[in-house]
A and B are shown apart, each in its own frame.
Chain A
Amino acid sequence: MGNALRFRDDTAHEEPAVTLDAFLGQTNATAVRLESDEDARKLIPQLGQLALIEVAFPKFRDGRGYSAARILREAGYTGELRAAGDVLVDQIPYMRRCGFDSFAPEADIDTDALERALSRYEHVYQKAADGRSPVWALRHG
């Protein structure tokens, strides 16, 4: 995870992530990796013990992880939520909105392009997992 990009103030979690099956079978792990076809809701009963959930993006076109992230945040998860795999710079703003706060892209990320992408939109239309106020809330604030 040398090129992980973190948007958290706490120190990075060191324990290696276990598979979902391993996690559900042994209850003391604090980091888990969720494959794109696995159900994030299975983690909900034990969210409190988790410090890191890594969500796999095997291909950038596979968008299941966006829903997994929102489901975990909606369930109250506050630990590190990492998008790992085929993660492209122009996708990271969407992922941030869905609740991801760390990234482990396979390929190098152009940090200038990422900075531009993340600061670009002043306004958003939807309420999501990042706490930003949608424009309908600003209009009727």
Chain B
Amino acid sequence: MYKYDEFDQSIVDTRVAEFRDQVARRLAGEISEDQFKPLRLMNGLYLQLHAYMLRVAVPYGTLSSRQMRMLAHIARKYDRDYGHFTTRQNIQYNWIKLEDAPDILADLASVEMHAIQTSGNCIRNTTSDQFAGAAADEVTDPRPWAELLRQWSTFHPEFSYLPRKFKIAIVAAEEDRAAIKLHDIGLQLYNNDAGELGFRVFVGGGMGRTPMVAPVIREFLPTGDFLSYLEACLRVYNRYGRRDNIYKARIKILVHELGAAEYARQVEEEWAHVKTLGLDPPPGEFERIAAQFALPAFETGIADTVDRSDPDFAVWLDQNVKAHKQPGYAIVNISLKPVGGIPGDASSAQIDLMADLAETYSFDELRVTHAQNIVLPHVKKADLYTIWQKLVAADLASANLDLISDIIACPGLDYCSLANARSIPVAQKIAKRFEGLDRQRDLGELKLKISGCINACGHHHAGHIGILGVDRKGTENYQLLLGGSGAEDASLGRITGPGFDEDGVVDAIERAIEKYRTLRTDGERFLDTYRRVGMDPFKEAIYG
């Protein structure tokens, strides 16, 4: 894992002092709420439905046990004993006092964490593959580049008042576990035919009001130049992105209006200039960072098999444990989606327990996933059964990864001042309706995603089944979408037809799923069947 040096620590500590000064000026009346708002937002502090909400950055989703324990401590000391893990691999606290915020940031800085640029029209926390450094299918660990991005984007003097927020995701495998094509910039590391490592660069994806799958704007970008290239991408956007209409201000609109080829041409032209300015750090800086992501000291020659005699354990093993690149090791996914629970929420006791497990069994490392779950990336297969037993005792052993009850849901109208409808109760009703694991496993991979408004924090466009909550004359109403995907086969869901009330949308999903069961061929997921047969049979089943 990356460790701060004196420079990193100095910058983050200074940020705490700066925000303390800004909060003091606000509380003393020296600045108005209008002036304070952009300052607090650039530090992830929102005024939400019930209180202030603080979003803490988890850079590329990677945490140490010590950092995880600090998240539990903050939940206990300053909030109401829980936190909410988000689709951007961050954590949010819902009940923060403004007067406590500087102390919270100081506590975070003591474990090399911060809330810098977790909101605002700036470059946000870079997200990545939750299995980075462990996945059997990656060409390299993408996180050293993500850390370079973190440093480059932190207080970037030119790109802190962009037309709109800016999200970058980076992966290094063919399987896209970070939804890169639905980001402002998506970077995929791969080896070209000559065996050189570089990036495929996607620009202009996104969800929200106008969802778009990002086009490729550069097929191969050598790794050494990538920061100056991104500087050029951002500069073209900062200069020409729309500022007349907040709903058209994301880079996807600029790329769409210019056309991907013309946007790419402008970036190349800018890059030809920017590349001469010496903005790229020397290779030694990448090597310094990469050395800190070296593989842990894995044991070799250990057993690569697992005793499956406990049937409940075997189910969890099949569903939640993934292949590791190191023989004898595995990747454990801890589902934060128990039936009846709130997707992504964890109590301080659960957070502490996950930190303990990581310290004892996973080389001190955890990950947050964009699907709002937690990962122990480096677990010895021999320890899996013990870990599972401890997870069962903490209500963290739901064996539902990637199944219909592993629902992504935004906080919705229960917490969010932008929402039009509640998301969480719908997620809970669906999970309850499909409670039996045998039934869920029979349905196979089925990604269900719920947003409580058009901003799409719950990724409804990218769900095999998506739900969008809307306000219909003061009443919550839910539109149903089918056919989206946030993976390497990215696609946008289509609305089935008229919306439903809360119970109605659960019934409609069940009808669509029963239709799928009658139509599917061997091995077909819901999404595959939908793509093969189209919307009509489902529409008929739903509204028929």
Q: Which of B21, B35, B154, B273 contacts A125 (CB 8 A)?
A: B154
Whether a CB of chain B sits under 8 angstroms from the CB of A97 is yes
A38 to B: closest C-beta gap in Å: 10
Q: Let me know if B10 and A113 touch, CB within 8 A.
A: no
Q: Let me know if B155 and A121 touch, CB within 8 A.
A: yes
- The residues of B that contact A95 with a CB separation of less than 8 Å are 157
B313 to A: closest C-beta gap in Å: 46
* A113 and B21 alpha carbons, distance in the complex (Å): 9
Q: Let me know if A136 and B282 touch, CB within 8 A.
A: yes
- Chain B residue nearest to A62 in the complex (CB): B243
- The residues of A that contact B418 with a CB separation of less than 8 Å are none
B265 to A: closest C-beta gap in Å: 16
- The residues of B that contact A126 with a CB separation of less than 8 Å are 152, 156-157, 279
* A70 and B231 alpha carbons, distance in the complex (Å): 12
Q: Let me know if A135 and B158 touch, CB within 8 A.
A: no
- The residues of A that contact B239 with a CB separation of less than 8 Å are 64, 67-68
Whether a CB of chain B sits under 8 angstroms from the CB of A66 is yes
Residues of chain B from 18 to 51 with CB closer than 8 A to chain A in the complex: 18, 21-22, 25, 30, 35, 38-39
B370 to A: closest C-beta gap in Å: 25
Binding site for A on B (CB under 8 A): 5, 7-8, 10-11, 14, 17-18, 21-22, 25, 30, 35, 38-39, 121, 151-152, 154-163, 235, 238-239, 243, 273, 277-279, 281-282, 284-285, 288
Q: Which of A93, A117, A121 contacts B11 (CB 8 A)?
A: A121
* A63 and B166 alpha carbons, distance in the complex (Å): 14
A63 to B: closest C-beta gap in Å: 3
* A62 and B240 alpha carbons, distance in the complex (Å): 11
B236 to A: closest C-beta gap in Å: 9
B457 to A: closest C-beta gap in Å: 22
Answer whether A121 and B35 are a contact pair too, CB < 8 Å, given A63-B162, A127-B279: no
* A20 and B157 alpha carbons, distance in the complex (Å): 25
A56 to B: closest C-beta gap in Å: 13
* A113 and B238 alpha carbons, distance in the complex (Å): 28
Q: Let me know if A70 and B158 touch, CB within 8 A.
A: yes
Binding site for B on A (CB under 8 A): 60-64, 66-68, 70, 74, 88, 90-91, 93-95, 97-98, 110, 113, 116-117, 120-128, 134-140
Q: Let me know if A125 and B14 touch, CB within 8 A.
A: no
Q: Which of A98, A123, A136, A139 contacts B157 (CB 8 A)?
A: A98
- The residues of B that contact A70 with a CB separation of less than 8 Å are 158, 235
Q: Let me know if B277 and A135 touch, CB within 8 A.
A: no
Q: Let me know if B21 and A63 touch, CB within 8 A.
A: no
Q: Which of B159, B277, B285, B288 contacts A127 (CB 8 A)?
A: B277
Top 6 A-B pairs, shortest CB-CB distance: A63-B161, A97-B157, A136-B281, A135-B7, A94-B157, A136-B285
B292 to A: closest C-beta gap in Å: 13
- The residues of B that contact A66 with a CB separation of less than 8 Å are 157-161, 238
Q: Which of B14, B22, B161, B273 contacts A61 (CB 8 A)?
A: B161
Q: Let me know if A74 and B273 touch, CB within 8 A.
A: yes
* A94 and B155 alpha carbons, distance in the complex (Å): 8
* A67 and B161 alpha carbons, distance in the complex (Å): 10
- Chain A residue nearest to B5 in the complex (CB): A139
Q: Let me know if A125 and B161 touch, CB within 8 A.
A: no
Answer whether A67 and B281 are a contact pair too, CB < 8 Å, given A62-B243, A125-B11: no
Q: Let me know if B161 and A120 touch, CB within 8 A.
A: no
- Chain A residue nearest to B8 in the complex (CB): A135
Q: Let me know if B238 and A63 touch, CB within 8 A.
A: yes
Answer whether A60 and B14 are a contact pair too, CB < 8 Å, given A90-B22, A123-B7: no
A87 to B: closest C-beta gap in Å: 11
- The residues of A that contact B8 with a CB separation of less than 8 Å are 135
Interface centre among A91, A124, A135, A137 (most CB of B within 10 A): A135
24 contacts between A and B (CB under 8 A): A60-B38, A62-B161, A66-B157, A66-B158, A67-B235, A68-B239, A74-B277, A113-B21, A113-B30, A120-B14, A121-B11, A122-B10, A124-B155, A125-B152, A126-B156, A127-B277, A128-B157, A135-B8, A135-B11, A135-B151, A136-B281, A139-B288, A140-B282, A140-B284
Answer whether A63 and B152 are a contact pair too, CB < 8 Å, given A113-B25, A121-B11: no
* A125 and B155 alpha carbons, distance in the complex (Å): 8
Q: Let me know if A90 and B39 touch, CB within 8 A.
A: yes
- The residues of A that contact B281 with a CB separation of less than 8 Å are 134, 136-137, 140
- The residues of B that contact A63 with a CB separation of less than 8 Å are 121, 158-163, 238
- Chain B residue nearest to A63 in the complex (CB): B161
B478 to A: closest C-beta gap in Å: 33
B118 to A: closest C-beta gap in Å: 17
- Chain A residue nearest to B151 in the complex (CB): A125
* A136 and B151 alpha carbons, distance in the complex (Å): 9
Q: Let me know if A60 and B161 touch, CB within 8 A.
A: yes
Q: Let me know if B157 and A61 touch, CB within 8 A.
A: no
- The residues of A that contact B30 with a CB separation of less than 8 Å are 110, 113
A115 to B: closest C-beta gap in Å: 12
- The residues of A that contact B238 with a CB separation of less than 8 Å are 63-64, 66-67
B42 to A: closest C-beta gap in Å: 9
- The residues of A that contact B11 with a CB separation of less than 8 Å are 121, 123, 125, 135
- Chain A residue nearest to B42 in the complex (CB): A90
- Chain B residue nearest to A65 in the complex (CB): B161
Answer whether A120 and B18 are a contact pair too, CB < 8 Å, given A64-B238, A88-B35, A125-B11: yes
* A60 and B37 alpha carbons, distance in the complex (Å): 12
* A97 and B243 alpha carbons, distance in the complex (Å): 23
Answer whether A122 and B285 are a contact pair too, CB < 8 Å, given A90-B39, A139-B5: no
Answer whether A120 and B7 are a contact pair too, CB < 8 Å, given A128-B158, A140-B282: no
- The residues of A that contact B273 with a CB separation of less than 8 Å are 74
* A68 and B161 alpha carbons, distance in the complex (Å): 13
Q: Let me know if B121 and A61 touch, CB within 8 A.
A: yes
- The residues of B that contact A135 with a CB separation of less than 8 Å are 7-8, 11, 151
Q: Let me know if B155 and A127 touch, CB within 8 A.
A: no
Q: Let me know if B160 and A139 touch, CB within 8 A.
A: no
- The residues of A that contact B288 with a CB separation of less than 8 Å are 139-140
- Chain B residue nearest to A122 in the complex (CB): B10
